[in-house]
Amino acid sequence: MISAIARLGITLVSVTALTACSSGGGGGGGGNGGGDGNPPPSRNAQTIVYSAGDGLSTNGVTELYSVDDDGNGRTMLSADTALDTTSIHDLAVSPDGLWVAYVSNIRSPGETDLYVSAINGGTPVRVSRTKPILGGRIQSFDWSPDSSQLVYAANVGHNRLPDMATNEVFVVDRDGSNDTKINGEIGNPAVVEVRNPQWSPDGRYILQEVAAFNSANGASNVANALNVHDTTVDGFSSVRVVTAFNTLRNVHWSPMSDRLSFSADFLSPSRYHVFTSEPFGTGITKVSDNGDFNSDSRWSPDGSTLAYLDHPSLPFPGDLVVSGASPGSPDTVLAFVTPDGKQVYDYAWSPDGSKIAFTADLDTPRVRELYVINADGTGNPVKISGPFIATGDVFDFAWSPNGNSIAYLADQDTDTFIDLYVSSANGGNNTSISMGLNGEEVTDFDWSDDSQRIAFSTGPEGRNPLSNKLYVSQPNGSGRREITPAMTSGPLIFEYN
């Protein structure tokens, strides 16, 4: 995961290594959660992919690396370059864990390209068709579920104005072959652009957001429509799914690929509700029926229900609601807080779909704490975060893959100083993972797939936008160790594979 407050230059990706590791001992200062040398459970190492300037082999230029979470096997994945302006802008590991795609400006400071490299190293392959003469840039990309292809949006030469190119959508094989435009040729000059493509989980469809250009200033607006491309049909096969009055956002495929969800003012201007639709726009159903603004819908892991935030009036606050995705399904309000002037800020389904974690100021006004509640509405919310100082807040959180624990970032103990904490899903065993690191503030974190490790990045105290260290710890705070050499540039982006 990439935190909403990520401020580093490391991206984590976890890949299971072939050799067993023993990552006991470890760095980190003392204090609650420091490295204590306790031997960790026996396990195979998992791989982390990160981008950073290391000051060793690249003189501070940002490159892409992989490293096992026991600190061994560090490998450069990107092309070592002498350009002092090179940076890694985004990265994503393939679903099979064998490849990493990333965006970089290796060829020219004014353009970006999409590259693919094997996780175990080798020569990166440029797979996009961006052109330096036009200042082409990759807007976004997504792996196919079978890891054989990528879809990307880029402005590669279809001009709207002499100095402005327009995003179009392309599909390309992982080795760079068969680069094919699937949506574009959208007027000359262009009247819309297509962006943010995403594969359906079954790999058949590709969603694309459509944004019209403002006739007054030439800039593109927020998306107001959706197209779907069928990959089983050759050539241009994109079909319009829906067009909103003003804005369409928060688009997600259901886990079964049979429906998609979105928030839009589809029925009347400036009244935003949550809708679902079949892939080609049939069977559009309004799921939410509350207030003037419903947002942030997210499917349950089995695709049977949707959760969303209901704002009875704008701007904010919001309640947390769960609803069936079919017509006439009843709503279950899990956190009804708006009559008291309180607010649900964010939420996440547990991996098995039985619970939902959410942040809200339920107990103390304007103090954002972390809670867990049963998704069926039974029982009361359980506070997961520890005792907070008067001005503390939870900034980000994530379930462990096994659903037993939740990690979160918060200034729980010191105002404006962000540490990493882990609690069990029932509210016990609240542990600081990062305390005692001598002024290093946590900027992002990611769970390993086996839930036995947490990787996290840190930077200097004071909300510095850069991070320069990467650590791995057991969820109970033991065995903490720094696994990267000193970084000279950021931000640090990382991801478990």
Phi, psi of 339 (to 5 degrees): -60, -25
| Residue partners of 122: CB distance under 8 A and separation at least 6 | none
Read off the tokens for 132.
């330096």
The pLDDT score that the predictor gives to residue 97 is 93
Q: What is the mean pLDDT of residues 215-240?
A: 80
Task: Please provide the CATH number assigned to the domain covering 129-470.
Answer: 2.130.10.120
| Position 14 pLDDT exceeds 60 | no
Confidence class of residue 387 from pLDDT cuts 50, 70 and 90? confident
Q: What is the mean pLDDT of residues 164-183?
A: 88
Give the CA distances from residue 196 to residues 139, 153, 258, 459, in Å, rounded to whole numbers and listed in that order.
7, 7, 20, 30
Q: What is the mean pLDDT of residues 16-33?
A: 33
The pLDDT score that the predictor gives to residue 213 is 77
| Position 401 pLDDT exceeds 90 | yes
Q: What is the mean pLDDT of residues 398-422?
A: 93
> Which strands form 260-264's sheet, in the order they lie side by side?
248-253, 260-264, 273-277, 285-286
Q: What is the mean pLDDT of residues 349-365?
A: 93
The pLDDT score that the predictor gives to residue 9 is 43
Our measurement of the distance from residue 74's CA atom to the centroid of its chain's CA atoms, rounded to an integer in Å, reads 24
pTM above 0.75, yes or no: yes
Nearest CA to 45 out of 27, 61, 22 is that of: 22
- Exposure string (b/e) for 308-322, b if CB count within 10 Å is 16 or more? bbbbeeeeebbbbbb
Within a 13 Å sphere around the CA of 159, how many CA atoms are in the beta-carbon half? 8
Confidence class of residue 76 from pLDDT cuts 50, 70 and 90? confident
pLDDT digits (tens, 9 = 90+) for 233-247: 877 778 899 988 888
381 cis-preceded (ω within 30 degrees of 0): no
The pLDDT score that the predictor gives to residue 219 is 60
Nearest CA to 206 out of 238, 168, 173 is that of: 238
| Position 20 pLDDT exceeds 50 | no
CA–CA separation, 438 and 458 (whole Å): 11
**Least-confidence region, from 114-118, 150-154, 272-276, 486-490:** 486-490
Confidence class of residue 291 from pLDDT cuts 50, 70 and 90? low
| Position 24 pLDDT exceeds 50 | no
CA–CA separation, 348 and 361 (whole Å): 16
* Mean pLDDT value across the chain: 80
| Position 316 pLDDT exceeds 90 | no
Confidence class of residue 27 from pLDDT cuts 50, 70 and 90? very low
Read off the tokens for 385.
């975060």
107 or 374: whose pLDDT is higher?
374
Read off the tokens for 347.
């939420």
- Exposure string (b/e) for 355-378, b if CB count within 10 Å is 16 or more? bbbbbbbbeeeebbbbbbbbbeee
The pLDDT score that the predictor gives to residue 388 is 84
- Exposure string (b/e) for 110-134, b if CB count within 10 Å is 16 or more? ebbbbbbbbbeeeebbebbbbbeeb
The pLDDT score that the predictor gives to residue 104 is 87
Q: What is the mean pLDDT of residues 353-358?
A: 96
The pLDDT score that the predictor gives to residue 52 is 78
Q: What is the mean pLDDT of residues 297-320?
A: 81
With a pLDDT cut of 90, the percent of the chain lying above it is: 37
Nearest CA to 434 out of 445, 448, 449, 450 is that of: 445
Alpha-carbon torsion, ordered 142, 408, 417, 415, to 10 deg: 130
CA–CA separation, 404 and 354 (whole Å): 12
**Least-confidence region, from 7-16, 227-236, 349-358:** 7-16
Contact 25, 481 (CB under 8 A): yes
With a pLDDT cut of 70, the percent of the chain lying above it is: 76
414 or 478: whose pLDDT is higher?
478
CA–CA separation, 80 and 88 (whole Å): 12
The amino acid at 157? G
The pLDDT score that the predictor gives to residue 28 is 32
**Least-confidence region, from 164-168, 469-473, 476-480:** 164-168
The amino acid at 242? V
| Position 120 pLDDT exceeds 50 | yes
pLDDT digits (tens, 9 = 90+) for 472-487: 999 999 999 998 866 6
Q: What is the mean pLDDT of residues 294-301?
A: 89
